[in-house]
């Protein structure tokens, strides 16, 4: 079993000069293009595609993502001729290729000949071929075939001049509760715990007579009669992330051996629960993500900003890639709305504002068959005269216009939002106090409070070096390691400002509730003497506090040596603290309504010396600095006038001077250079 070597988590901005980076692919340009699936079309269409790509300013395409059956139609066979012609065609037209390993979708023959490569769900049912991601990450047979096709791809195209990057697999997301996964899970647990006594202690198996006397008794957390052991489930999620990462590393190491100068990536899904992306990002040369905000969501722009901030942070504060977005509607929502005119441009430039050096799509040409024929493409079913392609052409031209000023530059942030996959996994267990508490929603609420005041935030792991940030906010981290708690305490002791949300620091890394219901170091930090009870709130229920209303959650706290207390008013918690402050450490025991949370964080940020990018902006207008540039983006449906800093600026998109104020149309964008 090949396991990635754990590495210490780097500080934001630290580099790895011995490895290639995204800059080795971009070469001073914003990459523009997307997934190209020409095997779905007759070859005469390929030349038409290239003509349209050149017209749209496409400089990068991803080939081969779902091509395994085309490349290996029978076990061991290789049919590379069609891909040879495509690689040559792209190079002849100045279009770089991000070459994918096709291993996310094995050919039907693999499942038929080797059923052990197919994953099983938690009920023991086989997940058959006929879709995608139908592979067991623990299957030695699957790994052998995946390595073989990767080896041959890398050997064949290592010196091809069109090759600019490797894309391993696609959207790793496969869980497996099957027998081979069970065997591998036991090995993983032996590596982690060493002895059954240590495992039984960590899992608390004295509860419900779950003590294990043999490693062979341990299974993946399959369907059970009642609630499962939460630490068992937590370790299985950790295991799954690690096994998928092993699959990635095996293929990455093969292509890296052939092309050590070519960056390697795999695409994350936005804020997805199945991968510990802090650890994954350490194994990538370039960090990429797929972003699909809902065009009907009034907070779609903020949700996009959250994913962009998180991905930039996984890239250590440097440039990153939008590997996939939609030019129009997607195909998986209950109702799949198109993007109104201008929204594709707005969200593409928003990604660039927040650090992206690549703006790509799924996919180039909209499919006519298959499950995604109603998922948009850069060339829609309407063809080159359609609105979608005309907007794509505009975006391509504008990205080319600003590339020289923006690529390689960074987005400054004085605020860090702490996020940890382990805390998310543990906090979502069965048997928790409130199924209404959704970790993603809580993080979005805190990020939105900052976004609405144009306070740019980064994301960080709770064990990261936080010294670069004036303010650290913790929306909710149910599980915290001792190292993370010590890190937060030290951050405040060094003069940092910390604001922490409810139900944080409850459990240790084994999901064992800490004595007192919150770690004693944190209670001391916030000036809490006793945490008596948690009081989750029903749908529609709120709690009154002095100056605001709280939602979702409340806590029965007794203040100790806190410097300031904002009390609850009325009800069971009357007079008890809703918010405590001790020095530079704040604890918020509820989720304030949006306006109240925004005002609270704005107050704390101002006291910490954090200033918004621009103040006094109309609602729905976002301002972001990247390098020397100021991006101003109107997420509203109406034109607005925006006051800009003193001095004359040049809008790189129009070439016009801007002094004093800007007029932005609905979904309008300005990119101001000093």
Q: Are strands 669-673 and 629-634 parallel, antiparallel or unpaired?
A: antiparallel
Q: What is the CA radius of gyration of the chain?
A: 26
Do residues 164 and 100 touch, judged by C-beta distance below 8 A? no
Strand segments (E) across 129-222: 163-167
Rounded to whole angstroms, the Cα distance separating 580 from 563 reads 8
Strand segments (E) across 153-287: 163-167, 264-265, 267-268
Burial class (CB in 10 A: 0-12, 13-18, 19+), 525: buried
Burial class (CB in 10 A: 0-12, 13-18, 19+), 481: middle
Rounded to whole angstroms, the Cα distance separating 408 from 33 reads 19
Residue 487 counted as an annotated binding residue? no
Do residues 593 and 550 touch, judged by C-beta distance below 8 A? yes
Token code pair at residue 393? 């052409």
Which entry of 171, 251, 282, 391 is annotated as an active-site residue? 171
Do residues 391 and 64 touch, judged by C-beta distance below 8 A? no
Q: Are strands 264-265 and 356-361 parallel, antiparallel or unpaired?
A: unpaired
Q: How many residues does the chain have?
A: 674
The helices-and-strands tally (H runs, E runs) of the chain is 18, 26
Token code pair at residue 45? 């269409």
Q: Are strands 356-361 and 31-36 parallel, antiparallel or unpaired?
A: parallel
Nearest to 133 by CA among 117, 113, 155: 117
In sequence order, what are the residues at sequence separation of 6 or more whose Cβ sits closer than 8 angstroms to the Cβ of residue 365?
Answer: 36, 37, 41, 45, 49, 377, 378, 379
CB environment 287-313: b (16+ within 10 A), e (fewer)? bbbbbbbebeeebbbbbbbbbbbbbbb
Rounded to whole angstroms, the Cα distance separating 633 from 89 reads 37
Token code pair at residue 41? 């079309």
324 is catalytic: yes
CB hemisphere CA count around 621 (13 angstroms): 26
Rounded to whole angstroms, the Cα distance separating 454 from 1 reads 47
SS3 for 323?
Answer: strand
Residue 132 counted as an annotated binding residue? yes
- Using CA atoms in the order 94, 95, 100, 105, what is the torsion angle rounded to 10 degrees? -130
What's phi and psi for 367, nearest 5 deg?
-65, 150
Nearest to 349 by CA among 383, 301, 387, 298: 301
Which helix (H) or strand (E) segment holds residue 341: the answer is: none
Q: Say which residue the tokens 């804020």 belong to.
A: 271
Cβ atoms within 10 Å of 653's Cβ, excluding its own: 18
Which helix (H) or strand (E) segment holds residue 170: the answer is: none
Cβ atoms within 10 Å of 43's Cβ, excluding its own: 11
CB hemisphere CA count around 668 (13 angstroms): 13
Which entry of 180, 324, 398, 555 is annotated as an active-site residue? 324
Residue 625 counted as an annotated binding residue? no
Residue 105's Cα: distance from chain center in Å?
A: 22
The CA-to-CA distance between both ends of the chain, in Å, stands at: 54
> For 341, left (φ over 0), alpha (ψ -120 to 50), or beta?
beta
Active site residues: 171, 324
Extract the annotated binding site for substrate.
132, 170, 332
Extract the annotated binding site.
132, 170, 332
């Amino acid at each position: 079993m090949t396991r990635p070597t754990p590495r210490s988590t780097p500080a934001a901005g630290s580099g790895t000069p011995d490895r290639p980076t995204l800059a080795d692919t971009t070469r001073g340009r914003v990459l523009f293009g997307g997934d190209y699936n020409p095997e779905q079309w007759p070859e005469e269409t390929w030349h038409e595609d290239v003509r349209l790509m050149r017209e749209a300013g496409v400089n990068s395409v991803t080939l081969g993502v779902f091509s395994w059956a085309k490349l290996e139609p029978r076990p061991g066979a290789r049919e590379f001729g069609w891909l040879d012609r495509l690689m040559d065609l792209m190079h002849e037209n100045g279009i770089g290729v991000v070459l994918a390993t096709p291993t996310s979708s094995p050919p039907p023959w693999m499942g038929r000949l080797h059923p052990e490569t197919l994953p099983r769900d938690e009920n023991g049912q086989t997940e058959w071929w006929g879709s995608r991601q139908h592979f067991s990450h623990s299957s030695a047979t699957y790994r052998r075939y995946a390595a073989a096709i990767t080896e041959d791809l890398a050997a064949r195209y290592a010196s091809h001049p069109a090759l600019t990057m490797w894309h391993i697999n696609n959207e790793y997301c496969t869980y497996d509760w099957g027998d081979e996964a069970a065997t591998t899970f036991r090995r993983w647990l032996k590596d982690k715990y060493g002895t059954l006594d240590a495992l039984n202690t960590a899992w608390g198996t004295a509860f419900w007579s779950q003590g294990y006397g043999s490693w062979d008794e341990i299974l993946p957390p399959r369907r059970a009669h009642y609630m499962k052991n939460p630490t068992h489930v937590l370790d299985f999620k950790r295991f799954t992330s690690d096994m998928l990462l092993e699959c990635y590393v095996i293929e990455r190491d093969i292509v890296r051996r052939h092309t050590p100068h070519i960056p390697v990536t795999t695409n994350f899904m936005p804020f997805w629960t199945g991968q510990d992306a802090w650890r994954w990002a350490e194994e990538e040369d370039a960090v990429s993500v797929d972003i699909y905000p809902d065009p009907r969501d009034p907070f779609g722009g903020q949700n996009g900003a959250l994913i962009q901030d998180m991905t930039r942070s996984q890239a250590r504060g440097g440039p990153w890639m939008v590997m996939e977005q939609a030019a129009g509607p997607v195909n998986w929502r209950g109702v799949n709305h198109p993007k109104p005119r201008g929204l594709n441009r707005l969200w593409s430039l928003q990604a660039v504002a927040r650090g992206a050096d690549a703006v790509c799509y799924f996919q180039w040409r909209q499919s006519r068959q298959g499950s995604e024929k109603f998922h948009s493409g850069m060339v829609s079913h309407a063809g080159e005269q359609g609105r979608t392609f005309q907007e794509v052409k505009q975006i391509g031209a504008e990205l080319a216009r600003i590339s020289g000023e923006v690529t390689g530059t960074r987005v400054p942030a004085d605020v860090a939002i702490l996020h940890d996959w382990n805390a998310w996994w543990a906090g979502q267990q069965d048997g928790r106090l409130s199924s209404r508490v959704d970790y993603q929603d809580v993080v979005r609420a805190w990020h939105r409070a900052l976004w609405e005041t144009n306070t740019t935030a980064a994301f960080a792991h709770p064990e990261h070096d936080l010294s670069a940030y004036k303010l650290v906010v913790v929306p909710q981290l149910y599980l915290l390691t001792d190292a993370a708690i010590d890190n937060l305490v030290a951050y405040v002791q060094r003069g940092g400002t910390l604001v922490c949300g409810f139900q944080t620091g409850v459990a240790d890394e084994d999901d064992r509730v800490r004595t007192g219901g919150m770690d004693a170091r944190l209670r001391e930090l916030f000036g809490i003497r006793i945490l008596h009870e948690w009081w989750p709130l029903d749908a529609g229920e709120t709690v009154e506090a002095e100056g605001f209303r709280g939602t979702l959650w409340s806590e029965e706290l007794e203040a100790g040596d806190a410097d300031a207390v904002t009390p609850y008013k009325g009800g069971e918690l009357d007079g008890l603290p809703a918010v405590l402050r001790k020095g530079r450490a704040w604890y918020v025991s509820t989720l304030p309504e949006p306006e109240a949370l925004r005002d609270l964080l704005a107050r704390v940020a101002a006291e910490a010396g954090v200033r918004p990018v621009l103040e006094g902006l109309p609602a729905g207008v976002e301002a972001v600095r990247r390098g020397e540039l100021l991006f101003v983006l109107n997420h509203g449906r109406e034109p607005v006038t925006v006051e800009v800093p003193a001095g004359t600026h040049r809008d790189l998109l129009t070439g016009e001077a801007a002094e004093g104020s800007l007029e932005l149309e609905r979904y309008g964008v300005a990119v101001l250079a000093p």
